[in-house]
Amino acid sequence: MNLEADENRFSQIAELLVSSRHAVVFTGAGVSTESGIPDFRSPGGIWDRFDQSAFDYSSFLTSSQSRLAHWELFRTLSHRVEPNPAHFGVAELCRLGLVKAVITQNIDNLHQRAGVPDELIMELHGSMKNFTCLRCHAKYPLDKIEVIMQSAEVPECPHCRGILKPDVVFFGESLPGDTLERAVFNSRASDLFIVIGSTLAVYPAAYMPEYALASGASLVIINLTPTPMDSQASAVIHARAGEVIPEIVREVKRRSG
């Protein structure tokens, strides 16, 4: 990142934040890659290592081979990682009262661990922090599942031997209705919509910035690579989120005195 070249944009984004009434942050995989979680679509990402066609909900229910592939992926995503400066920066903007909602495509729970209150977060694709048995509906935290994974390639429910599924949205499943409704409401209510670490390629999640723009919000995009909505944004920074967000937070605090 060229810090000098981006200083004007840091200042511009900080001014938009300080003057906003309802700023919303929207995050994708690019926020968490710096914590060591691979994204899905970049070279070397998840879909370079796994066959995407096997990862739909109907296959998970009916095919033991599909479940085996899913659990190999779960092991990749569940390894212990920590929030990075981007997560902590977003949490600080929430603490300052400048960000009113965080909409995320991520399932890693890192925003909450960084300090974003649960009530401000909308996890569009669910979360890996809990698993549910599809037969008896018992729920298990990730810690419990990690213990079971040590002795079983495809863990089953300890109570009834039913299929265990993380509380995430698989291909072929609908997004959770109440979460989607809250995300749409906040997107349309926003006057500033900040995209961080998303290519805006996955729908219906990628409709959120479109709803914000249609309602008159300013759009900011912070992503390592260009997105289809860059031309509609008031400010665009192509850099790592963990480098950019702390700089914006510093500029916000400088302006706030």
Q: Which of 70, 87, 111, 125 is catalytic?
A: 125
Q: Which residue has the tokens 């925003």?
A: 111
Contact 246, 234 (CB under 8 A): no
Helical residues (DSSP H) of the chain, grouped into ranges: 3-19, 46-49, 57-62, 64-78, 85-95, 110-114, 142-149, 177-189, 207-214, 241-256
Query: What is the b/e burial string over 32-54, where b = at least 16 CB atoms within 10 angstroms of the residue's CB?
Result: bbbbebbbbebeeebeeebeeeb
Both structure tokens of 223: 């992503």
Look up 87 and say whether it is catalytic.
no
Element (H, E) at 26: strand 23-27
Active site (catalytic) residues: 125
